[in-house]
Amino acid sequence: MKKLILLALLSSLLLGITACSEGFPDEEMHFGTENKTRPYAVIIDPPEAAPGDTVLVTLYAQTPDLQQLDISWRVALDYDIGLYDEDKTEGRFLDIDVPPAVVDEDGFLTQVFSWVVPDSVHQITSAIPTVLTDPAMIYLAEELIGPEAGSPPAKLAVDAWLKALTAQDMEEMSPIQRTGTWALADIFSCQIRFRVAMWDELHLDVTRNLTVRHTGRLGGPNMNHNADVDEFKLTALHKIDATKDDLEDPQVARTEFDLLPSGENEIPLDANWTYYISTGFHPQQYTSPFDPSLVLQEQAEYRWYFYRKDAPASGHQFYQTEDGEEAEMWNLEEEVRINPASSGSVFRVVSVLRDERGEWKMYHAVPGTEVTERTLRFVDQTP
């Protein structure tokens, strides 16, 4: 009976919510043509953690001169997206000392450090009010914790109860108690925001958020991992001006290349072929915050970048639209039409993939991210 009440409550909440998404401006995808630093990803692994957990943070960028670049990090322990992504709050800052960045011969920069999530994050955040107001959170706290949670339940009491739970406690619960506990852990959640300031001739601010909740620590099924890329391939369609529809047509002849992560992948040039590059995404399954019996599948959002190794300052546009025109970032999806240059041209191709769980945005769920890179060398066809 309690399960039916919970499902009815969560389902009714869904009817009153309109999902709002934040738009992204066009981004520069062509590295090396201008004398400036271009960050393209910050990955936090895992993308969600419990208070006290350790995460690994990696910054990715392309820069003309590491010696002229100053990088500093800080984290906002109090971050709130506000109602419908408006009125954002960012405060309670901590500076972070990190190891130096490293850069390779093409100016591709990485900076990696580990960081421990403070145990007090849920107490500090303004994203969870001192006295709970979310109806689902109130219901779950009252049913699971009882009078000790307060009336209405207090944030500190729920925080203490979740922190005290162990794996053995979860095993000893009834199935309905365990499901309810996972649901409470899922939505008793906040974000903290990492901010990296990068200075050369210009000032760049890059941010990446981390979800803080007990889902993973308690074995919950909704624990998010960074996006899972399981293939990276190039398809040469034996047809001039082929389209994505032709990729799905078995009657169109093709040659496929599974691109290796190390070394250069040699791709033969043919003026009568059309080339597409793509990554394969293996989505996780998860349950809805409004109905735990509803199983959903992640969606993906793609960003593509490139660097021409043999001629870095070349204005050659590698990515194209379906009409063969120069592409903007917003044109590019899972499968991207590319425009090879002359024989001997070499391109570093970077794909940044984010998994999307739109139903969880109001509960501070941050997308997972993955950076995948391959190097392509285009060569004349062998006679």
28 vs 37: CA distance, rounded Å: 11
Classify residue 243: in a domain, yes or no: yes
12 vs 103: CA distance, rounded Å: 52
Classify residue 246: in a domain, yes or no: yes
What pLDDT was estimated at residue 221?
93
Q: What is the CATH number of the domain that holds 263?
A: 2.70.50
260 vs 65: CA distance, rounded Å: 28
Classify residue 16: in a domain, yes or no: no
Counting Cβ atoms within 10 Å, is residue 196 exposed (0-12), middle (13-18) or buried (19+)?
A: buried
- Mode of pairing for the β-strands spanning 102-103 and 108-116: antiparallel
Is residue 372 within 8 Å of 351, Cβ to Cβ?
yes
Is residue 214 within 8 Å of 181, Cβ to Cβ?
no
Place of tokens 């981004």: 27
Distances (CA, A) of 368 to 283, 294, 299, 364: 11, 21, 11, 13
What pLDDT was estimated at residue 65?
86
223 CB-near residues (< 8 Å, 6+ apart): 46, 48, 215, 216
Classify residue 143: in a domain, yes or no: no
- Residue 304, domain extent: 221-383
Is residue 226 within 8 Å of 253, Cβ to Cβ?
no
pTM for the model: 0.89
Classify residue 78: in a domain, yes or no: no
5 vs 104: CA distance, rounded Å: 58
Percent of residues in the chain assigned helix, strand, coil, to nearest 5: 20, 40, 40
Q: How far is CA 283 from the centre of its chain?
A: 12
Three-state SS at 210: strand
Tell me the pLDDT tens digit for each residue of 322-361.
888 888 888 899 999 999 999 999 999 999 999 999 999 8
Place of tokens 């979800």: 211
Residues of the chain with pLDDT under 50: 1-27
Domains in the chain, number: 1
Which stretches within 215-280 are classed as H helix? Answer: 244-247
Long-range contacts from 146-154, C-beta under 8 angstroms, 24+ separation? 154/130
Classify residue 200: in a domain, yes or no: no
> Exposure pattern of 298-313 as b/e (b: 16+ CB <10 Å)?
bebebbbbbbbbeeee
Classify residue 326: in a domain, yes or no: yes
Element (H, E) at 196: strand 190-199
176 vs 100: CA distance, rounded Å: 49
Tell me the pLDDT tens digit for each residue of 285-295.
999 998 888 99
Beta bridge partners, 295, equal: 287
Classify residue 350: in a domain, yes or no: yes
